[in-house]
């Protein structure tokens, strides 16, 4: 009996050792899934973006981040409101669609807490022909379509002022509206539209002032199709630099820092310069 009991205990001990110290169990993770160098865990980074050029630029760093154990999930958006809500509420980790001035204005108006994690590029805003085909032929009472969000409308009006078509109050600044116009010799009228709608209504007005990302999406070439555009050497280049936006406190997250570093690389600079021919300019 004692021999049988001893044998049973020995068998039990052997089975326990086999379970704990024998051939290791298979890792449930896919062996081809990239892992971070530090933790050995895969990190998924959700980044909201509008299609062109933002999503196109993000696609250039997918492999770079994968090699660091970061899976970049690009979440497409077609408007300027939803991607900020998604970051503020934690649905997305970051977004890439807006310039810094728009983000700051959005924060002030919506009590949100978005910050700039890194500056990437600048898109000069341009004026495009509709019913009127040149700036020299603008008729009296011409209708000009402009973005209806605060910073981009002001930006459009400042461009018209730089061209000598209107004058604004000295203190109007980046948030100028048609109410700030002090001189309008051609009696220009303004049609305020959501930025994404501007390319779709271009033939309904005399001229449209369009953000380059929406111009690109509509098949317009800001370099060759715009009748005039912002000076890349102007203050606008700094005020309207497109950024990676995150919720405050996440700007030092290692995956976010890796994303910004990848986007500010020589490879991405070369992609921007060779693919957009001046309609998108690197700012790093």
Spell out the per-residue pLDDT of the chain, length 284, in tens: 333 334 333 434 333 333 333 333 333 333 333 334 445 688 999 999 999 999 999 999 999 999 999 999 999 999 999 999 999 999 999 999 999 999 999 999 999 999 999 999 999 999 999 999 999 999 999 999 999 998 899 999 999 999 999 999 999 988 899 999 999 999 999 999 999 999 999 999 999 999 999 999 999 999 999 999 998 887 778 899 999 999 999 999 999 999 999 999 999 999 999 999 899 999 99
3-state secondary structure of 192: strand
Are 244 and 107 part of one and the same domain? yes
Q: Are 99 and 240 in contact (CB under 8 A)?
A: yes
Are 91 and 148 within one domain? Answer: no
User: Which CATH number is 226's domain given?
Assistant: 3.40.190.10
Q: Do 130 and 228 fall within a single domain?
A: yes
In a domain, residue 167? The reply is: yes
Cβ contact 276:122 at 8 Å:
no
Confirm whether 172 is domain-assigned.
yes
- Domain range enclosing 212: 126-232
Note whether residue 59 is domain-resident.
yes
Whether residue 87 is contained in a domain is answered as: yes
Q: Do 84 and 211 reside in the same domain of the chain?
A: no
* Residue 39: predicted pLDDT: 52
Q: State how far the alpha carbon of 1 is from the alpha carbons of 6, 8, 24, 59, 256, in Å.
A: 9, 11, 35, 72, 66
The angle formed by the CA atoms of residues 275, 280 and 284, to the nearest 5 degrees, is: 105
Asked whether residue 158 falls in the same domain as residue 212, the answer is yes
Number of domains in the chain: 2
pLDDT, residue 40, reads: 64
Same domain, yes or no, for 195 and 209?
yes
Q: Are residues 119 and 130 in the same domain?
A: no
Task: Classify residue 24 by its DSSP letter.
Answer: P
Residues 249 and 200 in one domain: no
Q: Name beta bridge partners: 175.
A: none
Tell which of 193, 211, 232 closes a domain.
Answer: 232
What's phi and psi for 253, nearest 5 deg? -60, 135
Asked if residue 37 is part of any domain, the answer here is no
Cα angle: 226, vertex 224, 243; to 5 degrees: 70
Buried b (16+ CB within 10 A) or exposed e, 77-112: beebebbbebbbeeebbbbbbbbbbbbbbbbeeeeb
Considering the domain architecture, whether residues 157 and 219 belong to the same structural domain is answered as yes
For residue 263, the cross-strand partners are: none
**Backbone torsions φ then ψ of 9, nearest 5 degrees:** -65, -40
On whether both 71 and 111 belong to a single domain, the answer is yes
- Considering the domain architecture, whether residues 226 and 253 belong to the same structural domain is answered as no
The token pair at 145 is 């379509």
Residue 20 lies in a domain: no
Do 119 and 185 belong together in one domain?
Answer: no
Q: What does each C-alpha distance from 256 to 129, 137, 143, 158, 241 come to in angstroms?
A: 40, 48, 43, 34, 18
Residue 179 tokens read as 């109410």
Q: Where does a domain end: 197, 215, 232?
A: 232
């Amino acid at each position: 009996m004692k021999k049988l009991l001893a044998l049973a205990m020995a068998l039990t001990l052997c089975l326990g050792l086999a379970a704990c110290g024998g051939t290791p169990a298979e890792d449930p993770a896919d062996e081809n899934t990239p892992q971070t160098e530090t933790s050995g865990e895969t990190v998924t980074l959700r980044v909201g973006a509008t299609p062109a050029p933002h999503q196109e630029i993000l696609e250039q760093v997918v492999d770079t981040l994968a090699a660091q154990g970061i899976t970049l999930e690009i979440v497409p958006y077609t408007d300027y409101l939803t991607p900020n809500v998604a970051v503020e509420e934690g649905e997305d980790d970051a977004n890439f669609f807006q310039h810094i001035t728009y983000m700051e204005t959005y924060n002030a108006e919506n009590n949100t807490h978005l910050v700039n994690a890194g500056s990437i590029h600048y898109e000069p805003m341009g004026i495009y022909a509709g019913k009127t085909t040149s700036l020299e032929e603008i008729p009296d009472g011409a209708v000009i379509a402009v973005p209806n969000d605060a910073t981009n409308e002001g930006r459009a009006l400042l461009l018209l002022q730089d061209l000598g078509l209107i004058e604004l109050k000295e203190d109007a600044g980046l948030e100028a509206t048609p109410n700030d116009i002090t001189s309008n010799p051609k009696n220009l009228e303004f049609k305020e539209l959501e930025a994404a709608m501007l390319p779709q209504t271009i033939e309904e007005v005399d001229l449209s002032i369009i953000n380059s990302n929406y111009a690109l999406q509509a098949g317009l070439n800001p370099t060759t199709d715009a009748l005039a555009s912002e000076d890349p050497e102007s203050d606008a280049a700094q005020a309207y630099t497109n950024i990676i936006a995150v919720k405050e406190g996440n700007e030092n997250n290692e995956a976010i820092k890796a994303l910004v570093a990848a986007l500010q690389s020589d490879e991405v600079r070369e992609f921007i310069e060779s693919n957009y021919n001046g309609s998108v300019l690197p700012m790093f």
